[in-house]
Structure formats: C-alpha cells, structure tokens
Amino acid sequence: MNQGRRCIAVLGGSFDPVHNGHVALAGYFAKLLIPDELRILPAGSPWQKGKLRAAPEQRAEMARRAFERLPVPVRLDMQEILRDGATYTIDTLRALRAETGPDASIAFLIGADQLQQLHTWKEWRQLFDYAHLCAASRPGFALDAGHVNAETAREFARRTATPEQLRTTPHGLAYLAQNLAVDISATAIRAALARGELPGSLIPPAVLDYIKSHHLYET
C-alpha cells in the first residue's frame, strides 16, 4: 500500500494517432504501481516533432477512447494543448507538482524511443526534481548496450528503485520495464491509413472507429 501517499502515473504523447503501444505502456505501469490516477497528456506543439496531422481536439478524443477501459481512474489533462508556443516536459511536470503538492508520488511514463532521446530534452536532469521516470524497454533493449546515451544510463542506474519505493516517495527515482515487448510506430500506422489499410491489430477498436468516421490520415 502507498501509506496514504497519492500516486499519479502520467503519460504524455502526441497521440497522432494513439496506438496499442501507448495503451500497453500505461497498462503495464497501472498494474505495477497501482496508481490512484492515470493522467493522460496530449502534446500541444512538441518542439522535437514536426507538424502533427490530427487536430488537438481529435488527438485528445482518441486518447480518451484508448485509455478509458484501463483498470485505473483516467484523467485527460489538456494543459499542453492549451499552452502557447512549444511545450516542454519540464514545464508540464512543474505545473503538475504545483497542482498536486510536494507529497504525491508522480511517475512519468516514457517509451524506449523517448528514453533514447531523453538527454536532448530541456533540463532533462531536473525532471527528477518533480517526478520519477519510468521507461519501457523493447526486445533487445538495455541501458548498457549502446541504446541509451551514457549520461542517461548513469542517471537511471543510480536512481533505479522498486515499485514500492516509487509509490512511497514523491520523485527522483527511475524504473526500466525490461519485459514490455511492444514496438509500434505511429509513422507506420499513418502510412498504412493513407494507403487505405486498417491496422486493427495496432490501434484500439474505438480509436480506429474514430479515425474512420473522421477520415483522419487519408491522403
């Protein structure tokens, strides 16, 4: 048990579109951490990505549909979409910490691709001042196998903790899920949809229904 400390798992993403990899990542840490809330954060204007295809409200609705069946209370947080200009994770986590107070455990969830780029994020080391960082792995992926920047690997190695430690402290720890074998590309999904294919095995059914009804990603 978390001894009364609130635990919030946070998953951000462009969700353009949301896919089963996102859902698997959230579901894995929902079971591992048993958080009081899963906070879903659709990106506004992520500085490392080009122009997003779906509109902000469409990406938010796809995210709502994708995560609503998870066995954890889910809350859609629109702060990045509503923020003017480029959005940075450090600003989002500062705002979340201000909202939740100093005692809540905040676990920020990232995929393996994001972990590989973590050292390029704005003030990336300071992310630990506001949250724990929980990263997914993928087949053949390891911190010590040349997949991750050396400084990132060192930070994760020295901060690695158990799920119980993550739940019972507010921030500053790290966790790498070694057995989450999901590797799905949103770029490949958009390309398939543009060809008129329906990659139903990669996208939650409710999301695919929304994409079809709104003719998203068609050429």
What average pLDDT does range 22-30 have in this prediction? 95
pTM of the model: 0.92
CA–CA distance, 116 with 133 (Å, rounded to integer) = 13
What is the phi/psi pair of residue 118, to 5°?
A: -55, -35
Residue 215, pLDDT above cutoff 60 = yes
pLDDT of residue 1: 42
How large is the average pLDDT for residues 84-111? 94
Per-residue model confidence (pLDDT) at position 140: 65
Average pLDDT, the chain: 90
Token representation of residue 90: 């450090």
Q: Please check whether residue 205 is in contact with residue 6, taking contact to mean a CB–CB distance below 8 angstroms.
A: no
pLDDT tens-digit series, residues 36-72: 999 999 998 766 556 788 999 999 999 999 999 999 9
Q: Are 177 and 135 in contact (CB under 8 A)?
A: yes
Condensed to tens digits (0 to 9), the pLDDT of residues 145-186 reads 677 899 999 999 999 999 999 999 999 999 998 877 677 888
Q: Is 135 exposed, middle or buried (0-12, 13-18, 19+ CB in 10 A)?
A: buried
- Mean per-residue pLDDT, 95-106: 97
- Is the predicted pLDDT of residue 106 greater than 70, yes or no? yes
Q: List helix spans (H) across the chain.
A: 20-33, 56-67, 79-82, 89-100, 112-117, 150-159, 163-168, 186-194, 205-213
> For the chain, which domains are there?
7-213 (3.40.50.620)
